[in-house]
Structure formats: structure tokens, C-alpha cells
Amino acid sequence: MSPVPTWYQTAVFYELYVRAFQDSNGDGNGDLRGAIQRLDHLADLGVTCLWLLPTFPSPLVDDGYDIADYFGVHADYGTVEDFRALVEAAHARGMRVIADLVMNHTSDQHPWFQASRRREAPYDDYYVWSDTDQKYEDARIIFLDTEPSNWTWDKVRGQYFWHRFYRQQPDLNFDNPAVQQAMFDIARFWMGLGLDGFRADAVPYLIEREGTNCENLPETHAYLKQLRAFMDAEYPEAILLCEANQWPEDVRPYFGGDPDDPTVLGDEFHMGFHFPVMPRLYMALKRGDRTPVVEIMGRTPSIPVNCQWCMFLRNHDELTLEMVTEEERHWMWREYAPEARMRLNLGIRRRLAPLLDNDRRKIELLNSLLFTLPGSPIIYYGDEIGMGDDIWLHDRNGVRTPMQWDGSANAGFSDADSLYAPVISDEVFGYQRVNVVAQKADPASLYHTLRRFIAAYKSQPALALGDLRFLDHPDPALLAFERSYEGKTVLCLHNLGEHDVRVAVPDGQDMLADAPVSAGEVSLPAYGYRWLIQ
């Protein structure tokens, strides 16, 4: 008997980048008060949980994932009280809020690191120091374009320090019980502001061991289980969402429980991103062949009944191609990132709409898969209106440009003369054309399509909670599957090809058109999709 589904298993998430959302004080940066002013847009869309990107004091070398103070808010974004007000305002509109918990590393400007380099107690052992840079050589480098090594020499201490990301982000030493405890204190502080949980950043890398690739180690899992036990004891309604960019079989242990028995409750993370399915959605679409999606879902283990995957099409990072083969990566780069500037590390720094040639049919098709495959959907801010990108901006900033609210100056984002990043203003994706006000006024817009998806998704628990069964069809362009839950089945049909596909269906109801469908053959046009409930 399954437990009663909990809120996160049926949630619709929205990834909100505070800096890009709304500037309330005219300084050119979005801020927490500005985000509050825009919450009605998200409630109207049907979002049920916000995920806030980091808003901590930070030198912003990694856009806030380099934290200089875990107990504050960056002055550009407001104050801790503003943070509390944002959480309360979201709650008042029926939306929950989770935020990033960045455990693996701090900024090199964090006082802990400054004290550690001077070997000051008790921070001496807060980071991973070594006399040699020859340790842990089996660990890959993640920010390949920038970092030649995971070790950087610190002349103050006269030792190397370990970092999985930028050299300005030294890794904390999770073998140190004081660090382990400090993270609980940080979690408690933010939960005290009313949060509903955390997206735990970069968790595979917490602990290092010689002779391993330093990812997903048993010691890391042991600590994460302690974190979960702490959260369950103090905040039983809250969730932990795991960011582990790994193969499905390596993500499975992050849910905990018993790998052979999904009825045993998970005791590590409530949720985990499904990274590998994401590039395969793009691959399947470009090839007009369902195989990559069917294969990766077939390789996805079942998870405990109290857990849920998180699905996404894009996020604030490059579209990662770490979880594909080398050959597939090069194929993806050729197809989706023909210009060198579109590539970054092992990925592609482009947004959803430009990746899909701004073809409304393809954008809807991938969104349809986002809402019908297992896992809670996450919408990346701006993708609900098909925003564009600026590949010429530094690092991943090109997919983090100001939200396009209306056709007025600065897209209605800010009154300032100069913004943290330029608004997109090209002919195709410019705010003059692509903005929230215009799309709300047009019942045929992408915004309204997504709004209908969300309403339909919420009306039918099978889409969130149902079992998955793929159907066979002679045409590889047809990606058809059933989602079944408590006697209801939704048949989801997707045509990945540019030709019509005919498929036999039973009697049912078209959930999106809200019209009956009689048994017989239906024809799906190029990139067409249907959600049929029986």
C-alpha cells in the first residue's frame, strides 16, 4: 500500500533567478522585493513550488554558488527579512519555496577560508589541504574550460587546496565533524525563515578518498542520511532535492531505502533531478526516433514510494552533456551548438526556444514530455514565454538575462540606466515581441499553452504518480506511453518526426482539447502530441 502522496510528488516547480526577475529599487539588479511583486504571475501560471537560486553575500564568481556568508543576503538582493517576506508572500499564494543549500564549497572570501589559510583554530581543518597536487587524481575536472586542476596553490598557507569547481570555490572538508555540524546550523537558520526545503547543490563531491573518482562515496551518503534525519526530526514537511548529475543507477542511492524494494521508504533525498533523460529528449527529437528516451527510462531504477524525480528541459547552467557518450556529445554539439561560442565545458549555453529553432511545435512537444514523463516538472524562468539567450555573455550569463515582462524600456524589469546584464532585444527573441504582457493577452500564446498543461497535469494524478509503460509502434518517431494510477490511465502520444503518424487509440477523452475521442485511428501531425485519458 503506497503512502498518501506528499506535496512534492505532485508539485509544479519554477526555477526563479532573483537577480533576473524584477528590480524593485532601480539599481539594475533583480531583488527579493521585486520577486514578491511578480509572484502573481507564477500563481496564475499554476506553479506550486519556487526554487530560488542562491541569494547569499558572494563575490559572484559563480553567480552566488560561491558563498561568502551563509547567514545573509547579498546587498543587491535585499535583506534576510526580505527573504522571509518573499517566502511568506509565496505561501500566501499557495506556493511553497525551496532554496539552494550549497554544501560542497564556499567562496575563497568566506571568513572560514580566510582563517583556514592562516591555520587558525577551529577552521584549520575546514577545507581540504595537501602538500601535493598529486592526490585524488582519478577525480575529473568539472569546469574544464577554466580549471586545469582540482588543486590550487595557496601561498598564505603554503599548501594546495581542493576544489571541484572554480578555484575561488574551495571545497569544505566533510570529514571534519565541525563542518558537518555547521551545515545543520545553516539549514536550521534558513528553515527558520519558513522555507519548505532545499535543493542540495553538487552533493556527489562532499567527501574525497584516494583511489576513487571522489563521487558518490559511501561516506558521502552516510552524511547525507544524517542530514535527512536532522530535517525529518525538525522539519518533517520539508524536502531535500538532490543535484547529482549522474547516471540513473548512481542517483538511485541518493533516495535511500532499499534498492530492491520501492515500498521501503527513502531515507536520504525526497527528490532527485533526472539529468540523463534531458539531453536524450533533444536527441530523440532531432533524430525523430524515440529510442534514446525509451532506453534511458528503461535504465532508470524504481525509487521509493515516498520519493519523486524532478524533470527539466533547461536550467541556469549549460545544457549538460556529461551523461551521454563521447560520440553522442559531439553529435549534440554539431546539431544544437554549431557555433563554438554556444559550447561551454561539456555542454551547450543556450535556452530552450533558441535550441528548438523557436519552432513552437517543438517547444510544445518537449514541454508536453516534461509534463507527462514521470517526475515533477521544473520550468526555468522565462521558458514559459520562450525567451532567448545571448551566447556572447560570459560563462552561463547568456541564459540568465532579465525576465521579459512587457514591451517597455528594460522589458519592465528595471528603471535603471544600466542593468546587471543586457535585456534580449534581437528581432526574434527581443522583449518588444516576447514578453509576459503580450502572451497573457493572446490566448494562443506559449504561456497559455503551458498554463493549460499545468491545469491538466494537476487534474490527473496519474501524470504525477502513475506507472510508466511504453507502447510499441512501427514508426520510431512515435513516442507513446501510458501513465496509470488508481484505475486511471493517460495515454500520451508524441510525434518526434516531421511527417504525420497514425496510431490506434481506444475510447477516451482528450485532456488538453477537453473533448471525447472515439476508438479508432488518430493522426498526429509533425511534432504533434495528445494526452488521452481512459
Which residues form the catalytic set? 201, 243
For 474, half-sphere exposure in the C-beta direction (CA atoms, 13 angstrom radius) is 4
Q: How far is CA 27 from CA 72, 80, 267, 418, 456, in A?
A: 19, 19, 44, 8, 39
Q: How far is the CB of 199 from ligand BGC (least distance, A)?
A: 9
- Interface with ligand BGC in residues 240-279 (CB under 6 A): 243
Closer CB to ligand BGC, 62 or 215, in the complex: 62
The distance of Cα 9 from the centroid of its chain, to the nearest Å, equals 16
Tell me the β-bridge partners of 129. 161
Integer Cα distance of 312 and 529 in angstroms: 18
Integer Cα distance of 372 and 465 in angstroms: 10
Mask of contacts with ligand BGC, 126-165, x by CB under 6 A?
Answer: ---------------------------------------x
Q: How far is the CB of 476 from ligand BGC (least distance, A)?
A: 33
Neighbours of 109 (CB within 10 A): 16
Closer CB to ligand BGC, 380 or 405, in the complex: 380
Answer yes or no whether residue 62 interacts with ligand BGC by CB under 6 A. yes
Integer Cα distance of 69 and 63 in angstroms: 14
Answer yes or no whether residue 202 interacts with ligand BGC by CB under 6 A. yes
Closer CB to ligand BGC, 62 or 389, in the complex: 62
Integer Cα distance of 153 and 521 in angstroms: 67
Q: How far is the CB of 316 from ligand BGC (least distance, A)?
A: 6
Q: How far is CA 314 from CA 103, 317, 330, in A?
A: 23, 8, 19
Q: How far is the CB of 272 from ligand BGC (least distance, A)?
A: 13
Size of the site for ligand BGC (CB under 6 A): 9
- Interface with ligand BGC in residues 83-102 (CB under 6 A): 102
Q: What is the dihedral of CA 325, 331, 332, 338, to 10 degrees?
A: 150
Q: How far is the CB of 213 from ligand BGC (least distance, A)?
A: 17
Answer yes or no whether residue 395 interacts with ligand BGC by CB under 6 A. no
Integer Cα distance of 48 and 46 in angstroms: 6
- The residue within the footprint of ligand BGC, chosen from 17, 65, 381, 531 (CB under 6 A), is 65
Alpha helices per DSSP H over 391-445 = 436-441
Q: How far is the CB of 34 from ligand BGC (least distance, A)?
A: 21
For residue 202, which phi and psi values (nearest 5 degrees)? Answer: 50, 45
Closest listed residue to residue 482, CA positions, set 345, 374, 365, 322? 374
Question: How, if at all, do strands 343-344 and 319-320 pair?
Answer: unpaired
Q: How far is the CB of 143 from ligand BGC (least distance, A)?
A: 8
The residue at minimum Cβ distance from ligand BGC is: 65
* Residue 273 three-state SS: strand
Closer CB to ligand BGC, 183 or 411, in the complex: 183
Neighbours of 214 (CB within 10 A): 25
Closer CB to ligand BGC, 310 or 492, in the complex: 310
Closer CB to ligand BGC, 62 or 147, in the complex: 62
Integer Cα distance of 125 and 118 in angstroms: 11
Q: How far is the CB of 395 from ligand BGC (least distance, A)?
A: 9
- The residue within the footprint of ligand BGC, chosen from 76, 154, 171, 201 (CB under 6 A), is 201
Closer CB to ligand BGC, 103 or 337, in the complex: 103
Closer CB to ligand BGC, 143 or 527, in the complex: 143
What are 397's three cell numbers?
Answer: 550569463
Closer CB to ligand BGC, 165 or 527, in the complex: 165
Q: How far is the CB of 166 from ligand BGC (least distance, A)?
A: 8
* E strand intervals along 147-219: 151-154, 159-162, 197-201
- The residue within the footprint of ligand BGC, chosen from 82, 317, 364, 390 (CB under 6 A), is 317
Peptide bond into 122 cis (omega under 30): yes
What is the three-state SS of 229-251? HHHHHHCCCCEEEECCCCCHHHH
Closer CB to ligand BGC, 248 or 497, in the complex: 248
Residue 495's contacts (CB-CB under 8 Å, 6 or more residues apart) are 365, 477, 478, 479, 501, 524, 525, 526, 527, 528, 529
Integer Cα distance of 102 and 146 in angstroms: 21
First to last CA, the chain: 23
The cell 499557495 sits on which residue? Answer: 94
Q: How far is the CB of 17 from ligand BGC (least distance, A)?
A: 10
Which residues of the shown chain bind ligand BGC in the complex (CB under 6 A)? 62, 65, 102, 165, 201-202, 243, 316-317
